Amino acid sequence: TQHPWGYSKENGPDRWHETYPLAKGNNQSPVAILTKDVFQDPVLLPWFTSYDPGASKTITNTGKTCRIAFDDTFDRSVLRGGPLPGIYRLRQLNIHWGSTDDKGSEHVVDATRYAGEIHVVHWYSKYSNYGDAVRKPDGVAILAILIQVEKTPKPEMKRILEEMSNIKAKGKEAPFQNFDPSILFPKNRSYWTYQGSFTTPSCEECVTWIILKEPIVVSEEQMEKFRSLSSKPADEPHCPLVDNWRPLQPLNNRMVRTPYQ
Ligand SMILES: NS(=O)(=O)N=C1NCCCN1
């Protein structure tokens, strides 16, 4: 069978469907958000998070992203409101970035592709477990935060970036405690929302996307820290982990909505 999926020519997004047929579905992510076509929906509410910093567990270089895992054995850190029908439990955070600042985000807003994108992944806790939730159209909610590069560093990003030197190689994991991901959020809570999928295999179409309109700002040095990770294990030559973003997928018969301002 073809070697594990990734972002290179041989195992990249155009070939994922050979092993993960869902990748060819009609409700895939990411998509382009064309602000002129967004529907202002009066039923959409503000979203809220209540995160317990004690829930954060580890930070891992998976070889395809930097992932922070949280304790999701009970409703300890949760997301609710917005377009959501109930309480969604925080499970993990993952990040996508480019080899240069002109690319790296997965969602694109009008003609703008950002330098990176943070995904804060939650699952609907009315389902018995995460594995169950990913098989439901309303099973998962992902808060997406766009990353823009300017001269100013984002202090709240510091702890994540300091950890990069301990997880340089694929498979490396380190304890990551007392971390509340809401410190990464921009000031403005405005958002776009649509129904889509995970942007990595198995690409299940179980995701309600909540994409924050206001990007967060990091510095060039901070971006370089993400690019210092390797996509290879410690016993292989360093291979920069960069451009771990999926290209745009067809919107097809979907609407992107935003609350009434
Ligand atoms: N980039 S993403 O859409 O968050 N993709 C995910 N795949 C499976 C684990 C959770 N997240």
- Kindly provide the ipTM of the predicted complex, given to two decimals: 0.98
Determine the distance from the C-alpha atom of residue 253 to the mean position of all C-alpha atoms in its chain, rounded to a whole number.
23
> Could you give the CA distance from residue 40 to residue 239 in angstroms, rounded to a whole number?
44
pLDDT at 177: 98
Task: Decide: 142 in ligand 1 pocket, CB within 6 A.
Answer: yes
27 lines ligand 1 (CB under 6 A): no
- The C-alpha atoms of residue 129 and residue 134 are separated, in whole angstroms, by 9
Rounded Cα–Cα distance for residues 104 and 96 (Å) = 6
Whole-angstrom distance, CA of residue 53 vs CA of residue 33: 32
Atom of ligand 1 nearest to the CA of 119: 4
DSSP 136: S
Q: What is the DSSP string of 77-128?
A: SEEEETT-SS-EEEEEEEEEE-SSTT---SSEETTEE-SEEEEEEEEETTSS
Report if pTM > 0.90.
yes
pLDDT of residue 3: 74
What's the rounded Cα separation, in Å, for the pair 25 and 197?
A: 9
Distance of alpha carbon 70 from alpha carbon 244, whole angstroms? 22
> In the chain, where do the E strands start and end?
32-33, 39-41, 47-50, 56-61, 66-70, 78-81, 88-97, 108-109, 112-113, 116-124, 140-149, 173-175, 191-196, 207-212, 216-218, 257-259
Ligand 1 geometric centre to CA of 197 (Å)? 8
The per-residue pLDDT string of the chain (261 residues; one tens digit each, 9 = 90 and over) reads 557 999 999 999 999 999 999 999 999 999 999 999 999 999 999 999 999 999 999 999 999 999 999 999 999 999 999 999 999 999 999 999 999 999 999 999 999 999 999 999 999 999 999 999 999 999 999 999 999 999 999 999 999 999 999 999 999 999 999 999 999 999 999 999 999 999 999 999 999 999 999 999 999 999 999 999 999 999 999 999 999 999 999 999 999 999 998
Pocket test for ligand 1, best of 119, 145, 244 (most atoms within 8 A of CB): 119
Rounded (5°) CA angle 251-252-258: 50
- pLDDT at residue 2 in the model: 56
Q: Which residues pair with 88 in a beta bridge?
A: 79, 124
Please report the atom of ligand 1 found closest to the CA of residue 198.
Answer: 3
